[in-house]
Amino acid sequence: MTFDFSLQRMKALIGKEFIQLKRDRPTLVMIVMLPVMQLLLFGYAINMDPKHMPAAVILRDNTFLTRSLTAALEKSDYFKFTVPAASDVQGDRLLRRGDVMFVVTIPDNFTADVIRGQKPSVLLQADASDPGTISGAVGALTQITDRVITREMTGSLARLRQESSAFSVQVQKSYNPEGFTRYNIVPGLIGIVLIFTGVMMTALALTRERERGTMENLLAMPVRPLEVMAGKITPFIFIGLFQALLILTIARYLFSIPVIGSFGLLFFCMVLFIICNLSLGFLISTIAKNQTQALQMSIFVLLPSMMLTGFMFPFHGMPEWAQMIGRCIQLTYFVRIVRGIMLKGSEFADIVPHLWPLLVLMAVITGVTMKAYKNTLD
């Protein structure tokens, strides 16, 4: 047996592959854009020490010391007081809705108690549903309070500097007191699985039908685009719901992750999110010419969804341009909704600020998909 290996033939085959690759523009775009996108996201968008997080303050003692304390918190760059809360009830509501990450409560007679040496406490309520977001701010509290004491405890109050602390900050981690990361991961994981099923599997399944020629049979039938679209995505709705229920069951009984809110409301939001993903997968299938292109386009959807939505990395830690991109991704709002219902017991009124953007995205994606599908019929 002779070993017959021709460099000339191999050279011809290599040239053929490069020619095919040159003609496949989506693959060329993927080769260039994927590493560039990852580099830009990890280099500029990802920040594990978020700053300027929205906070509310309940100021029951308006004196030079309390004003100095709130100013020091804001100058630390961790806190940005965007909403004044008039009461504890309003503060809890802001925290539950996700409008703020922190609520600072300064009690009555705070300054007088400091002067008398009674060491009063400032209450800092933190939304711990995402422990990584608040860890930097909570860790900086001791340095912030020490600076306030050093700056303000002068003259007759200088004696208070010698004490261990003129006042303290009591941190209350709401919704996840133990700081379990799985409480944060599982709601996002539900969304990632549903995106994987809805976008990637739908796009691949429909593109495969076109490659096999079975899509032509549908085009020859007297059916409307909406009917075809509904018929194609309905089975995947049940698949997605089954996967979500499976994750919730494992999370509840294996990892002890609670579902405090309404399961019916959670189910309703899941259906909306699944429809949104399936419509996007249907749209990709109308653009992609083959399964490879459908897979590549799906990855371009999946990658930003994992990085820019608050699932893997703190949303408030990203620069403004990255947050703007994240606000255009449906997973951003779904993660907030699921965390709110599961961990905070959010009701319908609490999730409305996150639900209506999800509905808008669903309507836009569905409308564009129907128009694109009609163009394939012409």
**105 or 373, which is more confident?**
105
Give residue 141's pLDDT.
84
- Amino acid letter, 365: I
Does the pLDDT value for residue 318 go beyond 60?
yes
Task: For residue 173, report the phi and psi dihedrals to the nearest 5 degrees.
Answer: -85, 105
Per-residue burial over 50-67, b if 16 or more Cβ lie within 10 Å, else e, is beebbbbbbbebeeebbe
Residue 378 has pLDDT above 60, yes or no: no
Closest C-alpha among 304, 288, 294 to residue 37: 304
If we measure between CA atoms, which residue out of 141, 143, 131 comes closest to residue 170?
A: 141
Cα–Cα distance for residue pair 86/275, rounded to 1 Å: 40
Query: Does residue 315 contact residue 326 with C-beta atoms inside 8 Å?
Result: yes
Backbone angles phi, psi at 283, to 5 degrees: -60, -45
Q: For 226-259, what is each residue's pLDDT tens digit?
A: 777 777 778 888 888 898 889 888 888 888 888 8
Report the mean per-residue pLDDT for the chain: 83
Domains (range + CATH), the chain: 53-174 (3.40.1710.10), 182-377 (no CATH)
> What pLDDT score does 352 carry?
92
Comparing 244 with 213, the larger pLDDT belongs to 244
Instruction: Count the neighbouring beta carbons within 10 Å of the beta carbon of residue 72.
Output: 18
For residue 356, is pLDDT > 90?
yes
pLDDT at 358 over 90: yes
The pLDDT assigned to 337 comes to: 93
Q: Say what the pLDDT of residue 2 is.
A: 59
Highest average pLDDT, of 155-159, 213-217, 239-243, comes from 239-243
Mean pLDDT to the nearest integer, 37-54? 82
Q: For 77-135, how does the pLDDT look when each residue is reduced to its tens digit (9 = 90+)?
A: 888 888 777 688 888 888 988 889 999 998 888 888 888 878 888 899 999 888 878 88
- Rounded CA-CA distance 27/24 in Å is 6
The arithmetic mean of pLDDT across residues 168-180, rounded, is: 86
For residue 323, with 0-12 CB atoms within 10 Å meaning exposed, 13-18 middle and 19 or more buried, which class applies?
middle
Task: Give yes or no for residue 145 having a pLDDT over 70.
Answer: yes
Q: Is the pLDDT of residue 161 over 70?
A: no
- Residue with the bigger pLDDT between 326 and 289: it is 326
Decide if pLDDT at 159 tops 70: no
Whether pLDDT at 205 is above 90: no
